[in-house]
């Protein structure tokens, strides 16, 4: 787990503390040490970066759709590459399914 230092500790280490919780080192590189993510979001960002997206900006040299064309099914996070857990499924009763169908019909008709 990443350590979260106080502002005084960052200043002692030579970092410049910015207003929004980020810190900048002497070379000008900005870090977000206090940012926390869910594991699924972290896996999604890992897959985007693996497929060519720059993690510091969302200006990707490749389209984000490349995650869908991932060529490595042996990757341990392959099933989670869309940012969702594929092993959690909803079990609906027939009445719930029918109610969902009706809601979709209303939305599509509007």
For residue 2, pLDDT beyond 60: no
- Give the pLDDT confidence score for residue 29 in this predicted structure: 74
For 45, the enclosing helix (H) or strand (E) is helix 39-50
User: pLDDT for 20-56, tens place per residue?
Assistant: 667 777 777 777 765 567 888 888 878 877 877 765 5
CB 19 within 8 A of CB 9: no
For residue 95, pLDDT beyond 90: yes
Give which of 90, 67, 91, 64 is closest to 79, Cα–Cα: 67
Helix (H, G, I), strand (E, B) or coil at 24: strand
Rounded CA separation 81/84 (Å) = 7
Residue bearing the bigger pLDDT, 48 or 62? 48
Check residue 75 and report its DSSP letter: S
Domain positions in the chain:
1-36, 37-110
């Amino acid at each position: 787990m990443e350590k979260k230092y106080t502002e005084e500790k960052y200043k002692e280490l030579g970092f410049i503390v910015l207003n929004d919780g980020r810190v900048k080192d002497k070379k000008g590189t900005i870090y977000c040490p206090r940012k926390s993510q869910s594991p699924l979001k972290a896996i999604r960002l890992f897959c985007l970066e693996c497929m060519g997206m720059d993690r510091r900006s969302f200006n990707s040299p490749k389209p984000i759709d490349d995650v869908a064309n991932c060529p490595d099914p042996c990757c341990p996070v392959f099933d989670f590459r869309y940012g969702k857990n594929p092993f959690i499924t909803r079990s609906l009763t027939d009445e719930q399914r029918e109610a969902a169908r009706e809601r979709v019909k209303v939305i599509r008709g509007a």
